[in-house]
Amino acid sequence: MPYFVSWEKDGRIRRFAYPHTDIETALACAYEFLELQCNDVWISDENGHKVADRHAVAEYADDEPDDS
């Protein structure tokens, strides 16, 4: 299933041009936008249904092991 990352920054909503094939890579990409201090970030499926919100993205990042 394709997953699309969308974000809001400076009053504009945008969507990453290419879908991710799994939720883990979509979450990692979404976290990159969260780090850019976007107002909001979320992941939706091919039908536009939200499958992960900002909170889920932040939780995913907290659960990732530290590479240091």
Q: What is the mean pLDDT of the chain?
A: 91
Distances (CA, A) of 6 to 13, 29, 65, 68: 7, 10, 25, 29
pLDDT score of 16 more than 60: yes
pLDDT digits over 21-32, tens only? 999 999 999 999
The structural domains of the chain, with segments of one domain joined by +, span 1-43
20: number of Cβ within 10 Å: 19
| pTM attached to this predicted model | 0.86
